[in-house]
């Protein structure tokens, strides 16, 4: 759109600016994460809550599957939003499995624009690989051998 950020009070949450969606197709794409995403949350405020603006104004959330295909997992129309802004969270089964990248986009902007702030991506903890003490590489029964640790596959 024409405006990338909003800095006027009320249109940001924790910082002094928010990303501003003022045209259909405006998009935020996360970087690829090092582990699968378990939850995404963000703050959003619509610029208008008038009833006639409800029909075609919404923010979409989509995820990228390992095969490269994007899938829409949610649409948030402005009439579901809080007038002064609020947090929205998608977690667990909604996000899906083996998801490493997410997009938040302005699906349609009829009479409403959106300020987006405080995007948080939570990733799954990588599995802990147990370490095994051994005398790997040392002659068996040698008193001066240093015990080493190695990864067990």
Structure token pair of residue 16: 């002094």
Radius of gyration in angstroms for the set of CA atoms belonging to the chain, rounded to a whole number:
23
pLDDT tens-digit readout, 47-94: 887 766 556 678 999 999 999 999 999 998 887 889 899 999 998 889
Which pLDDT band, with edges at 50, 70 and 90, does 151 fall under?
A: very low
Distance CA 116, CA 5 (A): 9
Structure token pair of residue 45: 């405020």
Which pLDDT band, with edges at 50, 70 and 90, does 26 fall under?
A: very high
| pLDDT top residue among 138 and 13 | 13
Q: How many CA atoms lie within 13 A of 69 on its CB side?
A: 4
Distance CA 90, CA 95 (A): 6
Distance CA 119, CA 3 (A): 19
Distance CA 137, CA 28 (A): 51
Least confident interval from 26-30, 120-124, 142-146: 142-146
pLDDT of residue 92: 81
pLDDT of residue 144: 40
Checking DSSP bridges between strand 86-91 and strand 37-46, what pairing results, if any?
antiparallel
pLDDT of residue 152: 39
pLDDT of residue 49: 78
Burial (Cβ within 10 Å: 0-12, 13-18, ≥19) of residue 110: middle
């Amino acid at each position: 759109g024409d405006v990338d950020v909003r800095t006027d009070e009320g249109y940001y949450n924790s910082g002094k600016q928010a990303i501003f969606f003022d045209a259909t197709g405006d998009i935020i794409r996360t970087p690829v994460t090092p582990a699968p995403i378990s939850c995404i949350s963000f703050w959003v405020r619509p610029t208008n809550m008038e009833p006639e603006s409800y029909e075609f104004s919404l923010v979409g959330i989509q995820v990228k599957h390992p095969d490269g295909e994007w899938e829409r997992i949610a649409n948030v129309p402005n009439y579901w939003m809080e007038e002064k802004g609020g947090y929205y969270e998608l977690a667990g089964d909604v996000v899906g499995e083996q998801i490493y990248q997410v997009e938040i986009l302005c699906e349609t902007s009829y009479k409403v624009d959106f300020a987006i702030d405080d995007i948080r991506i939570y990733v799954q903890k990588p599995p802990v690989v147990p370490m095994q003490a051994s005398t790997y590489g040392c002659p068996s029964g040698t008193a001066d051998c240093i015990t080493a640790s190695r990864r067990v596959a």
